[in-house]
Amino acid sequence: MQKLSVTTLILFFCLIIRLASAQQTAADLFNEGIQKSNAKDYPGALQAFSAAIILNPENAPSYYNRALAKISLNDIQGANLDLDQALELNSSDANAYLYRGLNRTRQEDFRGAMQDFNRAIELNPNDALLYYQRGLCRLQINYLNSALADFNKAATLSPTDANILTARGNCKMQLNDYKGALADFALTLEKAPNKTQALAGRGYARFKLEDYKGAIADFNRAIELSKDEAELYYHRGLVKTRLGEFENAVADFDKTVQLSPNHFKALFSRGFCKSRLGGTKQAIGDIDKSIEMGTVTNQNKAYYSDFITSSTMTLLGSIVQDRYRVTELSDDRSDAYLIRGMLKNSNGEGKSALQDLNRAVELNPTNAEAYFIRGMVRSSLGDQKGSLIDCNSTVKLNPRHAEAYYLRGIIRYDSGDESNACIDLSRAGELGYSQAYKVIGAKCNSVQRATTAKL
């Protein structure tokens, strides 16, 4: 009985030591992620936090910091999934609500963002940044008076913050309080003399208050600081039009259209100025264009026919061929069919290649790579439905197959399933396929989550 007790005690201490070691390993990985984030090695940070989560999936800071790494890699939807998990584990983290709110704002989910900012303010009611961000969000959905209240609160908490003062000035402009806006922009420029947005705002406020000389001076200075901002030339052109300087105004509208060819307001104003200069035919042409552009309604999103091909060139090029190497043929000869299929495909014999890959899958139905390679070939032949099925089989057999998530994400996006596509692309990047972040940055961050429509 005594021996059993000692043995049990030893086993117990061994278990404690092992658990402590595992916990320390998770902590080490977490600290490694923090160090890499500080060094701006965001892919490395993401991998470290992912490994820490595998060892300790109940640690909210790991999800939160991995979300920050994903934000730095422009994977907004993937970051939101991590922030969801962080908040599920720790619902009192105001920063997690803040960043999820910022992400939702970028995705144009302004009502969802406001809910996050509301919760963050409940947890941290003296943070000026939270009121400022909620004010910007309210401004986007035209809640002007509520936005102004937020900017007033933010300015009370941080009275010298140039961004807050500028935002309040812009809000007052929309409320037609031009004198109040002018005061805010002037105060901003005392703190930050070269803030282009404040110069432009003060210039427009002066224009509305008929201080044309002051407006021109502000727009001139703003253009010196931001030579490629179309809106500055447009507004300066409006001032010159009001002053009757039609030729100079046309030059500003020309520059506006050069920088922003679809600026229909500038085309209209240029047409008006040309009409005053006697160029009736040219004036009508500009006004015709402004009407045509100004009445274009939102259309369904177009999916480019070459999107899949251009997005999977890297996969079809070197990734698989560099990675998949066989030194000894198995008894079932499945690898022979697989390699021959790959070689045929690279030689332009796609249909014949597919026959070999079908045979490889038949002979070894548990080989995830065979499904993935067949999925790529099917995609290149235009069979996206078949390719999607192969991607599903690949990730079922190998849940960490980054390229399969990437290919499935590309196909889903092209078919219109944008939300799930972006989740797949995020997973691909999370597993180390960095090419995914190029597509995420270009395609995913304006995609609203499916829950948005319910709000």
pLDDT digits (tens, 9 = 90+) for 329-351: 566 677 777 778 877 777 778 88
> Residue 329's pLDDT is what?
56
Angle, in degrees to the nearest 10, between helices 212-225 and 196-208: 160
Helices and strands (H, E) in the chain, number of each type? 26, 0
| 173 touches 205 (CB < 8 A) | yes
Q: Out of 45-49, 61-65, 233-237, 325-329, which region has the weakest mean confidence (pLDDT)?
A: 325-329
- For range 64-69, the mean pLDDT: 94
Check: CB of residue 420 under 8 Å from CB of residue 412: yes
Structure tokens at 25: 């390993």
Residue 126, token pair as written in the block: 């003296």
**Quick one: which of 453, 451, 444, 450 has its CA closest to 79?**
444
Tell me if domain 228-294 and domain 307-454 are identical in fold.
yes
Q: By percentage, how much of the chain surpasses pLDDT 90?
A: 55
Q: 292-321, pLDDT tens digit by residue?
A: 775 443 333 323 336 777 777 666 555 555
For residues 86 and 422, give the distance between their C-alpha atoms in angstroms, rounded to a whole number: 20
298: three-class secondary structure by DSSP: coil
The pLDDT value recorded for residue 313 is 65
User: Which of the 8 DSSP states describes residue 442?
Assistant: I
Measured in degrees and rounded to the nearest 5, phi and psi for residue 285 equal -60, -45
The 3 state secondary structure assigned to 197-250 is HHHHHHHHHHHHCCCHHHHHHHHHHHHHHCCCCHHHHHHHHHHHHHCCCHHHHH
CATH homologous superfamily of domain 228-294? Answer: Tetratricopeptide repeat domain (1.25.40.10)
Tell me the percentage of the chain whose pLDDT exceeds 70.
85
Q: List CB contacts of 96: < 8 A, sequence separation 6 or more.
A: 60, 64, 67, 83, 86, 87, 90
Contacts of 23 (CB under 8 A, 6+ apart): 55, 56
Contact assessment for residue 134 and residue 153, using Cβ atoms and an 8 Å cutoff: no
Q: Where are the alpha helices (DSSP H) in 277-380?
A: 280-294, 307-311, 313-314, 320-323, 334-346, 350-363, 368-380
pTM over 0.75: no
**Domain boundaries, given as residue ranges, for the chain:** 228-294, 307-454
Local confidence band at 322 (pLDDT 50, 70, 90 cut-offs): low
CATH architecture of 307-454: Alpha Horseshoe (1.25)
Dihedrals φ, ψ of 445, to 5°?
-80, -5
Distance between CA 89 and CA 53 in Å, rounded? Answer: 13
Give residue 162's pLDDT band: very low, low, confident or very high (50, 70, 90). Answer: very high
Residue among 399, 400, 326 at smallest CA distance from 364: 326
C-alpha distances (whole Å) from 297 to each of 216, 292, 300 are 34, 10, 10
Q: What is the pLDDT of residues 236-267, one digit of tens each?
A: 999 999 999 999 999 999 999 999 998 988 98
CA distance 369 to 395: 10
